[in-house]
Amino acid sequence: MIFFSTIPLHQLAYAEGPGVDAQGAILMEQESGRVLYGKNENQKMRIASITKIMTAILAIESGKMDELATVSERPLQAEGSSIYLKKGEKILLEDLVYGLMLRSGNDSAVAIAEHVGGSLEGFIYMMNEKAAEIGMKNTYFSNPHGLDDHENHYSTAYDMALLSQYAMENETYRKISSTKTHRAPQEGEEWDRIFKNKNKLLRMYEYSTGGKTGYTKRAKRTLVSTAKKDDLELIAVTLNDGNDWNDHMNLFDWAFNTYDLVSIVEKGPISGLENDAYKNKVEAARTFYYPLTEDERDLIKNEITLIKPPKNGKWGKNPPSPVGKLTIYLEGSAIGELPLFLKGTYRELEEETFWRTIKKVVTKFFIVTVPYG
């Protein structure tokens, strides 16, 4: 089976960044998932309230954001940060998610879990199922908020970057994560709840686009943040970092000064194919972007792999789809693949994204390597 995607096939050694005080850290580019900087990024650690990114995206994907959730006794028992829910009150799930992300409400996390998952335990099962789907191989969730009430609750800087990358594909999550202040009506009261975002980077750093803070006595300070300048979108994660605001800004500034998001392969016709069955007939379904330094641009190579064409050079009424793949290499390491199609056969795939990749069985290949892009 050939797996076509824009997911890097081999993790390149990353450049030496500015350094951080964190025990575990990572800087990832959103579009490609390339790791630009890492420090103990695969070490399993406590993660505190950045857990709530998973809680938020599950709530958003549930399709229940416009439903009223009835608060039970259990959310009121959650310790720490709170949006001060009251037993029996009804509140929009959407407002619970704002309270979760902006004020880090632990009571909000439990209320979300019970409404979306049917029970706290059911929601925790959903969290771990989603983590497996995303590829978070070194993560286990035991609660929806990140409190230190379970020993078996952990993740890594890399896995949390994967989660943030996934969540940032959702426009509702992007909006909530970047909101500085949200007002939520309060049942039975004349005044609204007002949530001000604890993520100081939204006010401190001009390129900040969102994220989630975290702290417990055992995890110490944890932080996931995102930033965008021009076309380059970044994700930073730090675990156990007493200097996290500065570390994130320094990582972002370094990457913005070091990398550009480059379109290596453009969506559309593929040139350089001489076989009559393929000449001027093969197209890439999407553009392939990748963050590169100035020196790396000349190190890109491409390899095209195609199905063996018919002997008469003519395709029947049902030509193969896809017809092959284009593999992109940087310094000999494969960094991504794109499916290739005969003209007019990939219309339904034009909106495919990073997280909706294509899997096809392709046999009888011959290989053509051409300079392209």
- Give the integer Cα–Cα distance in Å for 20 and 238: 8
Residue bearing tokens 């300048």 = 229
Q: Is 52 a catalytic residue?
A: yes
Read off the DSSP letter of residue 308.
P
Residues in CB range of 303: below 8 A, 6 or more apart:
326, 327, 329, 367, 369
Continuous segment of H or E residues that includes residue 122: helix 120-134
| Residue among 39, 52, 220, 325 flagged as catalytic | 52
Residue 273, beta-bridge partner list: none
Asked whether 156 and 24 are in contact (CB, 8 A), the reply is yes
Q: What are phi and psi of 335, to 5 degrees?
A: -110, -10
- For 88, the 3-state DSSP assignment is coil
Q: Is 64 a catalytic residue?
A: no
| Residue among 5, 32, 49, 155 flagged as catalytic | 49
Read off the DSSP letter of residue 154.
B
| Residue among 104, 108, 177, 208 flagged as catalytic | 104
- Give the integer Cα–Cα distance in Å for 135 and 133: 6
- For 184, the 3-state DSSP assignment is strand
| CA 318 vs CA 322, 350, 359: distances in Å | 11, 19, 18
Residue bearing tokens 């990457």 = 255
Beta-strand relationship, 24-29 and 35-39: antiparallel
- For 80, the 3-state DSSP assignment is coil
- Give the integer Cα–Cα distance in Å for 272 and 203: 50
Q: Is 142 a catalytic residue?
A: no
Residues annotated as part of the active site: 49, 52, 104
